Structure 1
Amino acid sequence: MRDLLLIALYAGMGAAAVGLAGALVLRVLRRRSVGVSLAVLTAVAVGAMLAGTLTVAWAMFLSSHDLQVVTMVCAVAAAASMLTALLLGRWVIGGHRALEQAARTLGEGGGFTSPDTPMAAELTSLARQLADASDKLAAARERERALEESRRELVAWISHDLRSPLAGLRAMAEALEDGIADDPARYHRQIRGEVERLSSMVNDLFELSRIQAGSLALAPTRMSVYDLISDAIAGADPLATERGVHLADHGVERVPVEVDGKEMTRVLANLLVNAIHRTPADGTVAVAARREADGVVLSVTDGCGGIPADDLPRVFDTGWRGTHARTPPAGAGLGLAIVRGIVEAHAGRAAVRNVPGGCRFEVTLPLPA
């Protein structure tokens, strides 16, 4: 037992000395290639075994022949281990370089394609993460492109919609100043109407900026959907009467919701005004509300004849106005964007789909807790 303890002591002393030296070397080379680190680690492992064996052999006073045999065996094992470590390091470095080259294309704005080179599990996992990041970056670039296109369209359309009324206001003001207006009272009424329309456009822009900035403050209260829709219909009834459009109740259930009454009234008003403008005279705009498993669904159905399938995904985009003329009363294309922003601020969702003779806008609100 005592001999085994001495052997363990001598072997431990030799191995500890080599291990300490190897740790110092690894610290110095910690910024070098992983292949170098693998070679050093292998050398430490083999060297520790060799040092421990030689220390024990020296302490046991082996013959020179036996010592040479032990040393030769350890040297051959060291050579085989070093060769294996170098091959492993080369394989790891090859996988790293292939992954680095593939990642470089990602940084240059292209997509990431995982290399076909066999790689270690850690590098393979990193490649999957880079592929996921590439997909997310592509989606983000697409959203950015869509937002930039939407912004350019909005600026162009707002400029167009502002130019005409401002030119009219200038002409009417000059006519009043020069005293050549045949009916000054009519000019005053027209000026007031144009100013109100411009004020409404500015209010829409301000509301949309608050929504996009995330600063829309909601004050939700519990109320009945029936009351909410009744108020919205009452507000839109004069416009419907003026344009000869019928407002119909196609089943409004008395279900409770927890919403900001002012903001949701604006949502319904925008949907109703949009539906009335795009429904021909003697047409019908139907309003309905029902409770479903995933929430309360409010719908407004018009008689516009339907929306082209290619335009359906863009209906709620900022500034979108489809194929309609870009002149009043088409507006600046902000109403439906405001609808989506307010609904999403209530943790709901807005959607549109075609139905026979027109299209149906649906707002889904979460059930109250």
Structure 2
Amino acid sequence: MTAVAGFAAAGFASAGDGGVAAQAAMDDLGMIIAVTAGLGLLVAILGVAVMWWLRTRSIGVMLAIVMVVAIAATLAGVVAITLKMIIDGPVRDIVLSVVAVGGLVGLGVAYVLARRVVGESRRLVAAVRDLPFTAPRGLPAELQTIANTLEEAYARERALEGARRELVAWVSHDLRTPLAGMRAMAEALEDGVVADPHTVARYHAQIKLEVERLSAMVDDLFELSRIHAGALRLSPSKIGLADLVADTLAGAEPLARAKGVRLSAEAAEAVPVTADAGALSRALGNLVVNAIRHTPSDQTVVLRAAVDAGMACLSVTDCCGGIPEEDLPRVFDVAFRGETARTPTLDGGAGLGLAIAQGIVEAHDGVIGVVNDGPGCRFEIRLPLVT
């Protein structure tokens, strides 16, 4: 019995030593993790500080810093393990050698990647400097996205520049023609070439008409410049489209009567929107005036106000004979009047009405479009309904 008791006591003592050893190993592991995490955090902070200091340098430098930070953090962990005597002798040398080789491999890969990124960036810069700009192909995804965006922006800028040149050319023509006529009539009145009261009165009336046309043209140019500059100021309020249609018809009636065009309205009741009544009335009025100018006598221009697909819809349908399909995307471009309408009629404008209408509608978070419909075309304005 004494021998059995001694054996049991020895067994319990051995189990207690194993528990103490396991606890010591856990303590060492916790300390290693804490030291490694602390050193890694310190290295990361230093790396971020260096990257911030060199933020304007090459992308290659940034990639090299990233690799150095990763290797330094790994070495910090290995050093922590070595200091705790967990690995020693040949094993330690092997671990350090593996880490060193891995770091050199990482730096080599980072160098190759940095050279490619820098080279592709320089290729993109060279393409930007070489106008007309065409996006190079085969770039990394992010650089390719930037290149494609630049190409689209350059194409838009060229289109806008072309529109500006057309606008200057056409407005210059539209200004020169009435000014030349007014100068001739004023000189005739001044020199006494025209003396009979009837002709003098006709000249005065014609000069007044041309001045009104020029004033309207200048107003359109000013309004368009505000739209393009983002300086259009709206005073939105809740309005009904039926009232807007009625007011627009009343304002366009004299022009329609003089042209021999009939006006018709189909307005649904209670179509509320939040809009600047004056600005939206001008946009709709521009569409109606455009429709009247291009509709033959004894034909009808129809205005409609209704709810369609959850949107408030204003439409103007004319009998202009339709717009060529290739011209439809350009209808709202500045100064676009179509190949057959570049010389304005007596009641024509500078081709700014539709561009102004588009700017006003888009300022209301709406959309405007045009489609061919029957004997003519249909312009549509879609606005959010009041909820």
**TM-score past 0.5 threshold:** yes
Aligned residue in 2 for 1:362: 380
1-structure distance, mates of 2:26, 2:208 = 106
Give the letter aligned to residue 261 of structure 2: V
Is this contact kept in 1: 2:318–2:378, CA < 8 A?
yes
Give the letter aligned to residue 277 of structure 1: R
Query: What TM-score do the two structures reach when normalised by structure 2?
Result: 0.77
The C-alpha deviation readout for 1:251-270, integer Å capped at 9, x for no partner, is 32123333222222212221
Query: 1:134 offset after TM fit, Å?
Result: 3.4
Aligned residue in 1 for 2:271: 256
2:157 counterpart of 1:133: no
The C-alpha deviation readout for 1:165-193, integer Å capped at 9, x for no partner, is 11111111111110001521111111101
2:353 counterpart of 1:335: yes
Query: 1:99 offset after TM fit, Å?
Result: 2.5
Give the letter aligned to residue 356 of structure 1: G
2:82 counterpart of 1:50: yes
2:194 counterpart of 1:181: yes
1-structure distance, mates of 2:350, 2:252 = 19
Query: 1:211 offset after TM fit, Å?
Result: 1.8
Aligned residue in 2 for 1:64: none
The C-alpha deviation readout for 1:227-251, integer Å capped at 9, x for no partner, is 21122112212222222222223x3
Query: 1:303 offset after TM fit, Å?
Result: 1.3
Which sits farther off after the overlay, 210-219 or 148-157?
210-219
Question: Equivalent pairs: percent with the same residue?
Answer: 44
1-structure distance, mates of 2:43, 2:377 = 75
Q: SS of the residue aligned with 1:311?
A: helix
2-structure distance, mates of 1:277, 1:190 = 20
Relative to structure 1, the CA distance from residue 40 to residue 164 in structure 2 (aligned partners, 3 Å threshold; closer, same or farther) is same
Query: 1:5 offset after TM fit, Å?
Result: 5.5
Aligned residue in 2 for 1:281: 297
Aligned residue in 1 for 2:368: 350
Is this contact kept in 2: 1:112–1:130, CA < 8 A?
no
2-structure distance, mates of 1:25, 1:256 = 61
Aligned residue in 1 for 2:90: 72
Query: 1:39 offset after TM fit, Å?
Result: 4.5
Q: Which runs of 5+ in 1 are unaligned?
A: 58-69, 116-126
Relative to structure 1, the CA distance from residue 49 to residue 313 in structure 2 (aligned partners, 3 Å threshold; closer, same or farther) is same
Is this contact kept in 1: 2:244–2:277, CA < 8 A?
yes
Query: 1:292 offset after TM fit, Å?
Result: 1.9
Relative to structure 1, the CA distance from residue 22 to residue 343 in structure 2 (aligned partners, 3 Å threshold; closer, same or farther) is closer
Alignment partner for residue 200 of structure 1, among 213, 216, 221? 216
Alignment partner for residue 300 of structure 1, among 294, 305, 316? 316
Relative to structure 1, the CA distance from residue 41 to residue 226 in structure 2 (aligned partners, 3 Å threshold; closer, same or farther) is closer
Is this contact kept in 1: 2:291–2:316, CA < 8 A?
yes
Aligned residue in 1 for 2:182: 169
2-structure distance, mates of 1:22, 1:342 = 55
Q: Which runs of 5+ in 2 are unaligned?
A: 1-19, 52-60, 129-133
Is this contact kept in 1: 2:40–2:73, CA < 8 A?
no
Query: 1:37 offset after TM fit, Å?
Result: 4.3
The C-alpha deviation readout for 1:44-81, integer Å capped at 9, x for no partner, is 4444433432xx79xxxxxxxxxxxx422221222122
Give the alignment of 1:120-159 within 5 angstroms. Answer: 127-159=140-172
Aligned residue in 1 for 2:120: 102
Query: 1:23 offset after TM fit, Å?
Result: 6.3
Q: What is the root-mean-square deviation of aligned Cα atoms in Å?
A: 3.3
Alignment partner for residue 311 of structure 1, among 322, 327, 337? 327
Which sits farther off after the overlay, 213-222 or 305-314?
213-222
2-structure distance, mates of 1:364, 1:196 = 32
